[in-house]
């Protein structure tokens, strides 16, 4: 079986590649676990000064969560799934070393949430962002309801989460969701350029900058817990069952609001 996460350390940069190209790099429990292990390296290995997270291939960064895995989850299983996702994404967000998402294609659902947990986002010209979870009768469960607001504001976040519209990298850039938009072939090089510039600064100060910026949003942590509970409650609904069944059957979902 192919590894779901590929890692490489070069010039003090750990590159983490989500490696499920046949599934558009969709997140599942194994990917989340492997991503946690990869991030633990960052915390433990002094050789690593910065991180790039990207997806395999040129079509998708991460095109969402693996729906087939959680379609029949109970409320309790859903809560554990969301809790585990939050834990790993919080590891990324709270890492004292800079973490850059090299968004090389679709960043949808959990992929958008993963990108937003990184400190910076560099996107290729073909990248698209979105939180389409309500199509399945659920909500973002890995921090998306909170981080989307932080990056693009309440009004636009609500619009995109309720309509499930995607936005391009060019559209995301003025909102601040994307730091830079570059050609696909220049994506990793741009991330490396930024990290190498950061490496010339004081590492302790860089860590404190990250800590202080994150502290600005600490009052939102109660909302994260509310998101976990709300995500899990969605699994009790008929709409969730209908949404996932319609997805598998490749038909339009008929939601009843229950």
Per the annotation, the verdict on 3 as an active-site residue is no
- Asked if 42 and 5 count as a contact pair (C-beta separation under 8 A), the reply is no
Q: What tokens does 58 get?
A: 């040129």
Is residue 223 a contact partner of residue 145, using CB atoms and an 8 Å limit?
yes
The rounded radius of gyration (Å) of the Cα atoms in the chain is 18
C-beta atoms surrounding 32 within 10 Å: 21
183 SS3 class = coil
C-alpha span between 231 and 110 (Å, rounded): 13
| Set 10, 113, 218, 249: catalytic member | 113
Facing residues of 15 across strands? 8, 52
Question: Which listed residue (10, 133, 185, 211) is catalytic?
Answer: 133
| Residue 113 bears catalytic tag | yes
Q: Which positions are catalytic?
A: 113, 133
């Amino acid at each position: 079986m192919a590894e779901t996460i590929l890692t490489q350390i070069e010039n003090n940069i750990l590159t983490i590649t989500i490696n499920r190209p046949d599934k558009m790099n969709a997140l599942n429990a194994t990917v989340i676990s492997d991503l946690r292990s990869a991030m633990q390296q960052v915390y433990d290995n002094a050789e690593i000064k910065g991180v790039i997270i990207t997806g395999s291939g040129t079509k998708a960064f991460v095109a969402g969560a693996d729906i087939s895995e959680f379609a029949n989850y109970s409320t309790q299983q859903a809560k554990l799934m969301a809790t585990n996702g939050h834990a790993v994404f919080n590891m990324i967000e709270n890492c004292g070393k800079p973490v850059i998402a090299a968004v090389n294609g679709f960043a949808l659902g959990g992929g958008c949430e993963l990108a937003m947990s990184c400190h910076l986002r560099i996107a290729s010209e073909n990248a698209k962002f979105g939180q389409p979870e309500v199509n399945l009768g659920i909500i973002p469960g890995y921090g998306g309801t909170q981080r989307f607001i932080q990056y693009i504001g309440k009004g636009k976040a609500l619009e995109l989460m309720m309509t499930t519209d995607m936005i391009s990298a060019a559209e995301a850039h003025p909102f601040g969701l994307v730091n830079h938009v570059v050609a696909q072939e220049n994506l990793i090089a741009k991330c490396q350029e930024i990290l190498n510039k950061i490496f010339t600064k004081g590492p302790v100060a860089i860590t404190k900058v990250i800590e202080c910026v994150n502290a600005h949003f600490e009052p939102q942590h109660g909302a994260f817990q509310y998101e976990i509970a709300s995500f899990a409650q969605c699994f009790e609904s008929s709409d969730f069952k209908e949404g996932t069944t319609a997805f598998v059957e490749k038909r339009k979902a008929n939601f009843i609001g229950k």
